[in-house]
Structure 1
C-alpha cells in the first residue's frame, strides 16, 4: 500500500499552501503516496485558485473520507483560518493555524495512522503571536513527541549531511567544539545513517580551518577536538574518516565516496548542499520517533499569493518521505525509547 503522508500547509499567509497544492495535485505524487493536506480547506482552495489548478479540494474530518485519487486534494480541515487572510503578512490567526496543523499531523504519526509528516514553512513571528514559545518546527516537534535527541539531516542527491552545531554564531560554534561534542555528533550521525538505510555507513568528518588547519598553522580545532574524536570513533569500530578539508569533502561525498558528511557548523553544511541543488535539498529531523521531512526555505511572503512559488523543494521533501517511509518502524524503535 502507498504510504500515507501528512502534509502541513505551513503559514496560510505564505507560500506553503501553494507549494502543497501543486505537489499534491501532481499525478506522480498521487501514484507515489497517499498525500493528506493538514490545515484549512479555505486556505488550500485559495492557493489552488491562484496556482490555476483544476482540482477538487475534498475537506475531510477523518481519514475514512479521503479519496487519494488524481484530480482531488484531500485536506484534513482544521477550520481556523479563512480565505480572507492578507497574503504575506504576519498574523496570529495564521500562526494558530500553522501550530494546529503541526500538532494534528504529529498526532497522526504518533498514533500510527500516517507514515510521515512533510512540513511547509512557518513564520516564527506568527507562531509567537499565537502564543508559541518555540523557535520553530524542530523544537515544537521535540515537545510533541517527548524527544530531546532531535537534530537535522540534510539529504541532497543521496548524500546525507549532519551538523555538530547549528543555530549559533560562528564564534560560539567554534568555542563549543570539543572532543566530547564532536564524538557525540559522530555517533548520532552514524546511528542515523544506519536507521535511514545505510547497511555499512561511511562517514566523513569536515575540518573547520583552511586546508584542515595545516598542522595547527591555521588553527588548532582539528588537532584539539576533531581528530581525537574521529580516532575515538574509529576505535569504537565506526567507519569514520577525517578531518577532511571542507572545500573538498562535500564534493567527495556527492561523488559517492561517503554516505554522510558531518559538518561542524550551520553554513558549512548548508552552503554546499543548497549551491549544488537548492530545491533538491531536503531537511529530515532525526532523533524523533516519527519521520519528518521538510522544505528548507521560508514562507517567501514577498511572492505569496502570486502563484509563482516553485514547488520543487516541497516535491523533493515529499519524495524523500516516500523513500524513507519503509524505515518508519526502525525510526520508532531507535528514537522512541531514547528521549
Structure 2
C-alpha cells in the first residue's frame, strides 16, 4: 500500500483517556504518517496537564512521517470545552464526526486505515444519536452486510458470532446464515490480512457443555454443527462445537489460529484476562483496515498520567503491518 497514505487515529471520548494515550504516539517514528483526529486545543491542554512537550503539526496531506516529539493532528472542533472525567452530551457528535471523517477517508482510499481510541456509548445515545459500537458504525458506513469483531493478544485470537446484543437475544441471532457469513469473513481475513494460509479454528458451543447431546439445548445439533460439517467437507480445519469451559485450555489452543465464540461475554473475558491492556480489537470484513484498543474510556484516569497506551501502540503496530502487506 502507498507509503504516503496516513493511518488515522480517532481520539474518542474527549473527557476520557483517549486524548492522553494519543499523545504517546508522538514518541514513535513510523513508516507512514500517523494522524490523530481531535481538537488540537484539547490535545495541547491535555499535554500541558500531563507535562508532555509535543510539537503539534496540522495535517494537510503530508507524505512524510512525523519525527519523534511531533504529532500530526487533523483538527476536529469540539462543541464545548472539556473537563477531564466529566461527560458532556453536547460533545457527543464530536465523537461521531471523528469516526465519520475517518471512515470517509478510508472508503475514498485516502488513508491506509483507522485506529480507534475508546468512546462512551452511553453519552452518545443520551444525545439522541443511535450508536451501539464502532463495529456496527463502520459496517453501516461501508454498506457491508456483515462484519466480524475479533480481539487478539500475542497468543490468542477470538472472533464473535454476535456482538453487542442482550443475552436474551443471542440464541435467536445464532442462525445458519449468520454462521456462514461470519466464518467466510473470518477465514478470508485470516488468510489475507494475517497471512495464515490454512487457518485452524476452534468453535465454542452456544449452550453449557455444547448442549450435552441436546439435553441442554438443540442449537449445536440443529444449527451449529451442520454448518461446521460443511466446512470440514471442504477441507477446512475447523472443530465441531466444543464446550467453552474447556476449549480455552492450552492443549486445545496450541492447535488453533483463532477461536470463534457465539457471544461477547463467552470469549472475551478469557482473552482479556490473558492480555488486558495489550489486547486489540480488529474489525474483519470491512473494505479497509480498522484496529482498536481493548479498553474503555477510564474517565477517572483522564488527565492523571496513569493511563497506559500499550494497547493503542499494539493496535497501531498491527494496522501498520497490515497496511504494508495489503
> TM exceeds 0.5?
yes
Following TM superposition, by how much is the alpha carbon of 1:291 offset from its aligned partner in structure 2, in angstroms? 0.7
Partner residue in 2 for 1:73: 71
Partner residue in 1 for 2:18: 16
Change (3 A) 1:254 1:9: farther
Partner residue in 1 for 2:270: 272
Question: Bigger shift: 298-307 or 243-252?
Answer: 243-252
Following TM superposition, by how much is the alpha carbon of 1:175 offset from its aligned partner in structure 2, in angstroms? 3.5
Equivalence map 1:190-269=2 (5 Å): 190-196=187-193, 197-252=195-250, 255-269=253-267
Following TM superposition, by how much is the alpha carbon of 1:35 offset from its aligned partner in structure 2, in angstroms? 1.3
In structure 2, what is the Cα distance between the partners aligned to 1:108 and 1:64?
A: 15
Partner residue in 2 for 1:64: 62
2:225–2:241 contact (8 Å) kept in structure 1 = yes
Following TM superposition, by how much is the alpha carbon of 1:18 offset from its aligned partner in structure 2, in angstroms? 0.4
Following TM superposition, by how much is the alpha carbon of 1:32 offset from its aligned partner in structure 2, in angstroms? 5.3
1:13–1:85 contact (8 Å) kept in structure 2 = yes
In structure 1, what is the Cα distance between the partners aligned to 2:299 and 2:173?
A: 34
Which of 133, 147, 151 is the aligned partner of 1:150? 147
Aligned residues: 323
1:43–1:81 contact (8 Å) kept in structure 2 = no
**For each residue in 1:285-305, what CA deviation from the matched residue of structure 2 results, as whole angstroms up to 9, or x when unmatched?**
112111111112221222222
Following TM superposition, by how much is the alpha carbon of 1:146 offset from its aligned partner in structure 2, in angstroms? 2.4
Task: Determine if the alignment matches structure 1 residue 25 to structure 2 residue 23.
Answer: no
Unaligned runs of 5+ residues in structure 2 are: none
1:179–1:224 contact (8 Å) kept in structure 2 = no
Following TM superposition, by how much is the alpha carbon of 1:40 offset from its aligned partner in structure 2, in angstroms? 0.8
1:138–1:285 contact (8 Å) kept in structure 2 = yes
1:253–1:260 contact (8 Å) kept in structure 2 = no
3-state SS of paired residue (2:322): helix
Change (3 A) 1:52 1:148: farther
Which of 282, 285, 288 is the aligned partner of 1:284? 282
In structure 2, what is the Cα distance between the partners aligned to 1:141 and 1:213?
A: 34
Following TM superposition, by how much is the alpha carbon of 1:42 offset from its aligned partner in structure 2, in angstroms? 0.7
Change (3 A) 1:172 1:6: same
**For each residue in 1:158-205, what CA deviation from the matched residue of structure 2 results, as whole angstroms up to 9, or x when unmatched?**
533211122223332124334444344323322222232221111111
Following TM superposition, by how much is the alpha carbon of 1:33 offset from its aligned partner in structure 2, in angstroms? 4.5
Partner residue in 1 for 2:291: 293
Partner residue in 2 for 1:55: 54
1:81–1:93 contact (8 Å) kept in structure 2 = yes
**For each residue in 1:210-260, what CA deviation from the matched residue of structure 2 results, as whole angstroms up to 9, or x when unmatched?**
443443344433223222221122123322112222133333488541111
Partner residue in 2 for 1:40: 39
In structure 1, what is the Cα distance between the partners aligned to 2:124 and 2:323?
A: 29
Task: Determine if the alignment matches structure 1 residue 165 to structure 2 residue 166.
Answer: no
Question: Bigger shift: 163-172 or 271-280?
Answer: 163-172
In structure 2, what is the Cα distance between the partners aligned to 1:161 and 1:177?
A: 17
Partner residue in 1 for 2:174: 177
TM-score, length of structure 1 as denominator length:
0.86
Partner residue in 1 for 2:93: 96
Following TM superposition, by how much is the alpha carbon of 1:10 offset from its aligned partner in structure 2, in angstroms? 0.6
3-state SS of paired residue (1:215): helix
In structure 2, what is the Cα distance between the partners aligned to 1:250 and 1:195?
A: 25
Following TM superposition, by how much is the alpha carbon of 1:273 offset from its aligned partner in structure 2, in angstroms? 0.7
Q: CA RMSD in A?
A: 2.5
Task: Determine if the alignment matches structure 1 residue 324 to structure 2 residue 325.
Answer: no
1:35–1:68 contact (8 Å) kept in structure 2 = yes
Unaligned runs of 5+ residues in structure 1 are: 329-339
Following TM superposition, by how much is the alpha carbon of 1:144 offset from its aligned partner in structure 2, in angstroms? 2.4
Change (3 A) 1:2 1:267: farther
